[in-house]
Structure formats: C-alpha cells, structure tokens
A = this chain, B = another copy of it.
Amino acid sequence: MFGSHEHNHCIEQALTSAEEKCAENGLRFTPVRRKVLELLLEEHKAIGAYAILDALREAGFGSQPPVAYRALDFLVSHGFAHRIERLNAFVACAHPGEFHAPAFMICTSCNLVTEANTSAVNQALEAAAAETGFKVEQTVIEIEGVCHDCRDADAQ
C-alpha cells in the first residue's frame, strides 16, 4: 500500500535521525535500542514494556524484562521516547531533539496518543508553582478524552 509505504519512509527517517543524534553525542544506537524505537514508531499508540518484549523475542533478542526496560530507559532519557504514566506504557517522541516538556492527549476510543502544544500550559504551570515557591523539575501532563476523528465517528 502507498500509505504504509509512506509510513515506512517516515520510520526510516526517524531511525536515521536518531542514529545521527546518537553519533553526535557519543551514544550507542544498538540493535536492541533501534528495534524498540522502530516498534514505537510503527504505532502512534502507547505500547507496554511486555508487548515490546514479545516483539523483541520474535526478533531474536533477549526476552527477559530488563532487556526491554533498559532500551526504553535509554530512549526516554535521551528524548527519543516518552513514558505515559497513566498507561504504564511508552510512545515515540514526536519532536526528538527539541527540548520540551511534553503534554499528551490520549484518546480512550482509538488509543492514539498525540503530543499537544504545551507552551501556554507550561507557562501557567510554572506560574502556579512559583506562587508557592516550588521549583519545577519534571512535569507529567496527560489528558484523557476523545480525539477529533473518534468524535466524528461517534456522532454518526
């Protein structure tokens, strides 16, 4: 299919870009890490560590939890993926490289997870924290609801 072909292209591009970024920063973009990022890129849904582990097993990698968790830790800590606390699951980062405090919109109907535009939200959050002298280090912002497409579908 043309659609999936296009998508494959996007994935390739993202993987290559990640590879370059790792090279620039002296990080090792190993086969396991590459494979996990590829899996995350294939869907715009959040994937659990054990689902990733299954895929790794099928691909001939180690099949014990630490294998998946370590790769995920690497990807998350270097900005290639995010953890969705609400779902105990992971998504590929939509804007790798750009430093950002992300917010996620989780569609409870189709399970798609998208990164929202957060500058105003973060500003408001910083302001609220500043009121009490709280120093922000990390933010978790996750919205559950129904995405545009699913609303339309429901309305029918």
Scan residues 138-152 of chain A and give those whose CB is less than 8 A from a CB of chain B. Answer: 138-148, 151
Q: Copies per complex?
A: 2
Is B118 a contact of A103 with CB atoms below 8 Å?
A: no
Asked if residues B124 and A123 are in contact (CB atoms below 8 Å), the reply is yes
A136 contacts the other chain (Cβ, under 8 Å)? yes
Chain B residues positioned under 8 Å from A129 (CB to CB): 105, 116, 143, 145
Q: How many residues of A contact B (CB 8 A)?
A: 37
Given contacts A140-B85, A141-B141, A128 and B148 within 8 Å (CB-CB): no
Contacts of A135 in B (CB 8 A): 145-147, 151
Q: Are A140 and B140 in contact (CB under 8 A)?
A: yes
A133 within 8 A of partner (CB): yes
Task: Tell me if B121 and A148 are in contact (CB < 8 A).
Answer: no
Report the minimum CB–CB distance from A125 to chain B (whole Å): 5
Residues of chain B within 8 A of A134, CB atoms compared: 105, 107, 116, 143, 145-148
Pairs of residues from A and B, 10 with the lowest C-beta to C-beta distance, nearest first: A133-B148, A120-B124, A85-B85, A140-B142, A138-B144, A137-B145, A121-B124, A136-B145, A124-B124, A135-B146
The interface of chain A, by Cβ under 8 A from chain B, is 85-86, 103, 105, 107-108, 114, 116-118, 120-121, 123-125, 127-129, 131-148, 151
